Amino acid sequence: MRVELPPEPVYFVNRDDERERALRAVTEWRSRSRPLVLALSGPGGLGKTELADLIARTLLDRYPFTDGVLSVDLDDFRADGVLDPGDVLSQLLHSLDVAPDQVQTQYAARCRQYWNRTSDAKLDLLLDNARYASEVVPLLPASVGSVVIVTSHGPLHDLEAGAAVDLALPPLEERAAMELLELIVRGHRLAADPQAARAVVRLCDGLPAALHVAGRCVRTHRLRPLSRILADLQTELDEKGVSGVEHIWDTVCERASATTAEAATSGTATNG
């Protein structure tokens, strides 16, 4: 059995409601004509891919007779923003043990080949970074026993009504965000300055990706007070009128890295 899943994330919190809804949907699925589609949607940085992997791993543990877990990042198959589903089908057929020279050349024939290979299979298929339902539909396995987990930045409105369970991910609430930040930072730095810690959480705006970046910055630069990071950052943001979490923490890390580099250079000069 092929299982195309990465190791579980080291730090992951919350999302229990979404996981429970997904597992309940699998248990209750009764269609006789198509597989279940779980559509995880939300802006970048919310942890959709990690959640999709965790759901797939849970399904694998709960239903060990699954025929395989296949995973495709659709962004890897885009050229100038355009996806050729035929290329993705080739990858999926390869994962289903079809030799490259046996993959059908014509797109329609390749679709039939894929449907034939998946007609009796019970697969968990992860499709990451979908943009439109039209990208997903050609990749659906033919078996009703399969589960397709799709991640996208927004809802796939043009999927056929009733064909998908929409799981829109909200930002983490402050308590969960603080829990994640504490797991990443480790030690007592956040507890020593709870006001600054809450300010860091608010800057991250509930995005796990931003919390990961912030946590790594805080953990790496242990001698730099949280309040100083916030003060320097706030001044720069006010001067430039910058908004956006990803840019905020890119700026923090660049400044912290520059400070470290200057300190190293200064130390080398002194030793010389």
Q: Residue 111: in which H helix or E strand, if any? A: helix 107-118
pLDDT of residue 222: 80
CA 142 to chain centre: 26
pLDDT of residue 94: 96
Which tokens in the block code for residue 232? 């320097």
Strands (E), the chain: 2-3, 36-41, 68-73, 78-79, 82-83, 123-130, 147-152, 164-168
- Under the banding of pLDDT at 50, 70 and 90, the label for residue 72 is very high
**What is the DSSP code (8-state) at residue 169?**
P
Q: Residue 86: in which H helix or E strand, if any? A: helix 85-95
The yes/no answer on whether domain 2-168 falls in CATH 3.40.50.300 is yes
Considering only residues 162 and 83, tell me which one the structure prediction assigns the higher pLDDT: 83
In this structure, are residues 256 and 220 in contact, taking their beta carbons and an 8 Å threshold?
yes
- As a whole number of angstroms, the distance between CA 271 and CA 184 comes to 34
The secondary structure of 212-246 as a DSSP string is HHHHHHHHH-TTS-HHHHHHHHHHHHHHHT---HH
Mean pLDDT of the chain: 84
Average pLDDT for 61-84:
92
The yes-or-no verdict on residue 137 having pLDDT over 80 is: yes
Which tokens in the block code for residue 65? 């007779």
3-state secondary structure of 37: strand
Pick from 103-107, 156-160, 207-211 the range whose average pLDDT is largest. Answer: 103-107
For the chain, what percent of residues have pLDDT higher than 90? 56
Q: What's the half-sphere exposure (Cβ side, CA atoms, 13 Å) at 185?
A: 23
**In the chain, where does the domain assigned CATH 3.40.50.300 lie?**
2-168
**pTM score, whole prediction:** 0.83
pLDDT of residue 231: 63
Return the ∠ at Cα 239 (arms to 235 and 241), rounded to 5°. Answer: 110
- As a whole number of angstroms, the distance between CA 42 and CA 233 comes to 27
In this structure, are residues 103 and 90 in contact, taking their beta carbons and an 8 Å threshold?
yes
CA 250 to chain centre: 19
Average pLDDT for 8-34:
90
Considering only residues 231 and 214, tell me which one the structure prediction assigns the higher pLDDT: 214
Average pLDDT for 216-230:
78
Nearest residue to 127 (alpha-carbon basis) of 147, 102, 154, 106: 147
pLDDT of residue 270: 44
- Under the banding of pLDDT at 50, 70 and 90, the label for residue 256 is very low
- Under the banding of pLDDT at 50, 70 and 90, the label for residue 192 is confident
